[in-house]
């Protein structure tokens, strides 16, 4: 007998018929990706967790409206995008007062944790729109046209945000990149 | 320093960011690679972009602090009769039953009229009897008074 993993569209069909277990399986497949996307976007674990739960609840309630189950991932991230930016809009004054985070000092040999923290800091220095473009492309692997659907904007806008972000990151991460190259040589 | 190959027509320069991000069409990607093999300036530009993307990938993926799940435990699911017998359903059922019982046992119009006639005749008969008793008592008392007068008259005489 050939074991075939249940595909997302099958789970979606079952969930639409009220099978909550099927939906929970779908959630378990996507929760880590959605949580990490939200975590990098809102920069707070508790907020990211709360928004993640809200995203999956809204997705469950809106499943009958999903036209093409094959495009579930883009549809799900679109809900996540809306929820995240709704939160960011609500807390904007607080964020503006928080000040800019400082990157950790670069040592002779950076540890993986320090590398990760430096990247996180560099991402946080981008605007929310630029950061989101990087998150969707580099970490979530969406294509430009899929990103345009998620963000509800033209592909040209997606590219503009992403390319500006990459230029900024190239400058911000340059000292770290030299460190990595020195470590490799 | 920029590549001189595209100075006359900057629009023909490959979109190196799209190339590094895997967004170029296969044909455009092949052309870009052919140029990269011959141009150290563009090669360096692409190498820097790749390094930036690779550096970004060092960001650690976080575990979800707690599982997201929706209640589907059979223990918590209502049984079929619990779904049916909601308070609203029970109230509706009670009213329906009352209507059915009332319809089944309701007497006919003729029976009602007969019962009313019977009740009225009983009340009238009772009334007549009471009037007769009162009339007899009055008559009896009149006789007693008359006798009393006659006795008194005999004594006076």
pLDDT tens string B75-132: 545 555 655 665 666 677 777 887 787 777 766 678 878 888 888 888 888 888 888 9
Best of B15, B21, B76 to disrupt the A interface (most A CBs within 10 Å) is: B21
Separation of alpha carbons B20 and B32, rounded Å: 11
pLDDT for the residue B145: 83
Query: Which residues are within 8 A (CB) of A155 and not within 5 positions of it... i.e. 6 or more apart?
Result: A144, A145, A147, A148
On chain B, the residues whose CB falls within 8 A of the CB of A60 are 70
Q: Closest partner residue to A35 among B17, B59, B64, by Cβ?
A: B64
Residue with tokens 């990151």: A169
Distance between CA atoms of residues A3 and B124, nearest Å: 94
C-alpha span between B154 and B89 (Å, rounded): 91
Q: How far is A1 from chain B (nearest CA, A)?
A: 30
The answer to whether the CB atoms of B62 and A36 lie below 8 A apart is yes
CA distance B64 to chain A (A): 6
Minimum mean pLDDT range among A42-51, A99-108, B48-57? A99-108
Any idea of the CA torsion for A82, B62, A26, A132, to the nearest 10 degrees? 30
Among the partner-chain residues A24, A159, A169, the one whose CB lies closest to the CB of B70 is A24
**Percentage above 70 pLDDT, chain A:** 82
Q: What is the pLDDT of residue A104?
A: 47
Rounded to two decimals, the pTM is: 0.68
Give the mean pLDDT of chain A: 87
Mean pLDDT of chain B: 82
What is the spatial distance between Cα A93 and Cα B144, in angstroms, rounded to a whole number?
Answer: 113
Chain B within 8 Å of A23 (Cβ-Cβ)? Answer: yes
pLDDT, tens digit, 9 for 90 and up, residues A81-131 = 999 999 999 886 655 444 444 444 444 556 667 888 889 999 999 999 999
- Which residues of chain A have a CB within 8 Å of the CB of B58? 112, 115-116, 119
């Amino acid at each position: 007998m050939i074991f075939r993993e249940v595909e997302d569209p099958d789970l979606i069909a079952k969930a639409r018929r009220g099978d909550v277990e099927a939906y929970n399986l779908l959630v378990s497949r996507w929760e880590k990706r959605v949580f990490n996307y939200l975590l990098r976007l809102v920069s707070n674990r508790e907020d990211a967790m709360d928004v993640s739960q809200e995203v999956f609840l809204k997705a469950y309630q809106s499943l009958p409206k999903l036209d093409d189950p094959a495009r579930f991932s883009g549809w799900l991230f679109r809900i996540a995008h809306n929820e995240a930016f709704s939160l960011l809009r609500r807390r904007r004054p607080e964020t503006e007062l928080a000040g800019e985070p400082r990157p950790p000092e670069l040592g002779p040999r950076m540890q993986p944790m320090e590398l990760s923290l430096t990247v996180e800091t560099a991402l946080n220095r981008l605007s929310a729109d630029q950061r989101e473009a990087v998150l969707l492309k580099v970490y979530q692997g969406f294509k430009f046209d899929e990103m345009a659907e998620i963000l509800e904007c033209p592909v040209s806008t997606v590219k503009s945000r992403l390319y500006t972000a990459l230029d900024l990151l190239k400058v911000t991460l340059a000292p770290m990149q030299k460190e990595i190259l020195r470590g490799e040589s | 320093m920029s590549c001189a190959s595209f100075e006359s027509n900057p629009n023909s320069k490959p979109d190196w960011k799209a190339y590094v991000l895997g967004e170029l069409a296969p044909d455009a990607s092949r052309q870009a690679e052919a140029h990269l093999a011959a141009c150290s300036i563009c090669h360096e530009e692409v190498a820097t972009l790749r390094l930036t993307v690779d550096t970004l990938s060092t960001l650690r993926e976080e575990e979800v602090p707690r599982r997201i799940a929706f209640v589907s435990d059979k223990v918590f699911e209502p049984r079929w009769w619990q779904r049916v017998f909601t308070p609203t359903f029970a109230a509706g059922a009670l009213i329906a039953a009352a209507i059915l019982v009332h319809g089944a046992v309701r007497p006919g119009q003729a029976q009602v009229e007969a019962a009313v006639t019977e009740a009225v005749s009983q009340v009238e008969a009772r009334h007549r009897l009471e009037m007769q008793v009162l009339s007899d008592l009055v008559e009896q008392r009149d006789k007693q008074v008359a006798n009393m007068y006659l006795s008194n008259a005999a004594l006076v005489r």
